[in-house]
Structure 1
C-alpha cells in the first residue's frame, strides 16, 4: 500500500491523464498529415505555420497585456524556434514516404535522446530499471525498420526506409526542443515560452515556405477534403503546444515522450479500422516490445535522482534579482522532472 501511494500520487495521475490527451492530439496530427500526403499535398512547413501564428496571437497578446520584460534571453528562443520548425518539417515530410504506424513508432527514438540530454544538462540520474525499459523500447524501433523493409509496398509509403530516417532525425530534434522547453518553462514563463516560440517559429517557417514551398502551395487545388485536415492539423498542434509545457513542469520531458508512445496504439487502430489496411506482423512484435519497455520503465517511476536547484547552474534571467527569484521558484519543480519533449 505504501508503494502504491508512493508511485501513484495525484501528480502522477494528472500527468498520465494529460499525457494521454496529448497522445490523442499527436495521433490526430498524424492522421491529418497522412491524409494530406495521400492527396499529394507536400507542404510540411506550411502545415505547421498556422500553429505558430495561433501561438503568437494568443500568448503574444498575454505578454503585451503584462508589459513585462522577458525572463529569458531572446536569442535562446530563436534557436528553439529553428530546431522546432525543422523537427516538424522532417516528421511531416516523412509521411510522404512511410506509413502512419512507422512514424508513430519511430518517434520513440526521442526517449533515449531526451534521457541523455536531461542527464547532461538537467543533471537527471536514471536507475537501471528505467534504462532497461528504454533499451527494450529501442529494440522495438529496430523491428519497425525491419518490418518496413520486409513489408515493402505494403508499408504505406513510396520509400519507407527514407521515411524512417527522416522520422529518426526529426525525433532527435524534438528531443532537443523538448528538453529546452522543459528548462525554459521552469526558469522563465509558460506564456513567454509559447509567445516567443510562436513568433520566431512563425518567422523561420515563413522564410522556409518562401524558399521551398511557394510553388507547391500555388499548385494545390484547395477543397474541403484538403482544407479540413490542413486546418485540423494546426488546431491539434496548437492545443498540443499549449499543454506540453504544463506536463513538462509537472512531470518532465521523459514522462511526456513515454506518454506519447501510446499514440502508436491509436495509430494502429486508425490504420486497421479507418484505412482498412493490413498491418505487417512484425509491427505487432515491435509494438509489444515498446509496451513491455514502458511497463519496465513505469515500475521504476520515481527512481531517478535529480539535483534540485543545481540542475541548472545559471537561470536565463535578465537580472540578478530575477535569478534569485527564479532559483527559489524552481527549487521543487526541477526536482520533480523526469524527461523530454515535447516540447
Structure 2
C-alpha cells in the first residue's frame, strides 16, 4: 500500500477496516432489499443484479467514455469475470429469495442442494474477487468497473429467462409480468441498485488497498450488519452475543490489517535488502 496515499500506522489500518465495513454494510443492504422484494411477492434475482450492473455502467461507463481510453485488458477477460460474478450473485440472492418467499418450506427438505448452492456461490465469489483484484491493480478501477458493469448487464439479460427448479417455474419474465408493481416494490429495486453500486464501487478500493483475503474477511460482518438493519427498521430484539461477536470480528480484522504485509512494503524491504547487499560487496572486496 502506498503510505503517502493512505497514511501510515494506525490510520492505514483504520482506513482499510472502515472501508471493508462499508463494503460489508452495502452487502447487507443488498440482502435486505432482496429479502424485502421476496416478501412483496417478486422473485427476480437476475433482475435485481441487472439494476446493480446498470448503475455501475451509467456512472463508470460514462467516465470511461469521457476519458476516451482504450482497453488495456482484452474484452473477453471482462466477459469471463462478469460471468463468474453473475453466477455468484445469483446463487447468493436465489437462496435469500427462496427462503424469504417460502419456496420449499421451512423444513429443509433438500439440505444437500442448499449446501451445494452455498459452496458453488462461494467458489464463484472467490474466483471473482481474485480476478477483480488482479485487473484492478493492473489497470485501475474505472476501466474494470465500466466493463464489469456492461458485461454484467449482458450476462444478466441472457440468463433472466431459461431457469426452473424442481418443476417450479422461476422464469423471471413470468415473475415480472405478474409482480405487483407498486411504489414499495420499485423502491426495493432502486435500493438494491444503489446498494449494489456502493458494493461494486468500493470493492476495488479494498482490493487495491489490501487484497482479496481481507476483503472476504470483512464480509464476515455482513450478517451482523443485516441484524442491525432489521433492528432499526423492524425493532427486533437480538441477543447481546451478536454485539459481542461483532466486536470480536472487528478486533480480528484490526489485528490482521496491522500484521499484513502490503505489496509496497514488501517491495521496499526487498529493495532495502538489495541495497544492503550492494553496499557490502565493495567492503568485502577490500578485505579480500
- Considering the TM-score relative to the shorter chain, is it more than 0.5? yes
Deviation at 1:215, TM superposition (A): 1.5
Question: Counterparts of 1:160 and 1:216 in 2: how far apart (Å)?
Answer: 24
Q: 1:197 to 1:300 in 2, by over 3 A?
A: closer
Mapped partners of 2:203, 2:17: distance in 1? 12
Counterparts in 2 of 1:195 and 1:169: CA distance versus 1, 3 Å: same
CA shift digits 1:139-174 (9 cap, x unpaired): xxxxxxxxxxxxx94xxx976945554344222211
In the alignment, structure 1 segments of 5+ residues that lack a partner are 1-5, 100-151, 311-330, 333-343
State whether residues 96 and 158 of structure 1, in contact with CA within 8 Å, keep that contact through their aligned partners in structure 2: no
2:228 aligns with one of 247, 259, 269 = 269
- Residues 1:309 and 1:296: Cα distance change in structure 2 (over 3 Å): closer
SS at match of 2:160: helix
Please give the residue correspondences for 1:192-271 in structure 2 after superposition, counting only pairs within 5 Å.
192-212=143-163, 213-271=172-230
Q: Compute the TM-score of the two structures, normalised by the length of structure 2.
A: 0.74
SS in 2 for 1:229: helix
Residue 37 of structure 2: aligned partner = 36
Structure showing greater Rg: 2
Q: Give 1:275 shift.
A: 4.1
Stretch of structure 1 that moved more, 259-268 or 78-87: 259-268
Q: State the secondary structure of the residue aligned to 2:216.
A: helix
The aligned residue for residue 64 of structure 2 is 63
In the comparison of the two structures, how many residue pairs are matched? 249
**Cα distance change on mapping 1:57 and 1:289 into 2, 3 Å:** closer
Report the equivalent of 1:328. none
Cα distance between partner residues in 2 of 1:284 and 1:166: 28
CA RMSD of aligned residues (A): 3.3
1:14 alignment counterpart: 15
Unaligned runs of 5+ in 2: 1-6, 164-171, 269-288
DSSP 3-state at the match of 2:50: helix
**Residues in 2 aligned to 1:165 and 1:224: alpha-carbon distance in whole angstroms:** 36
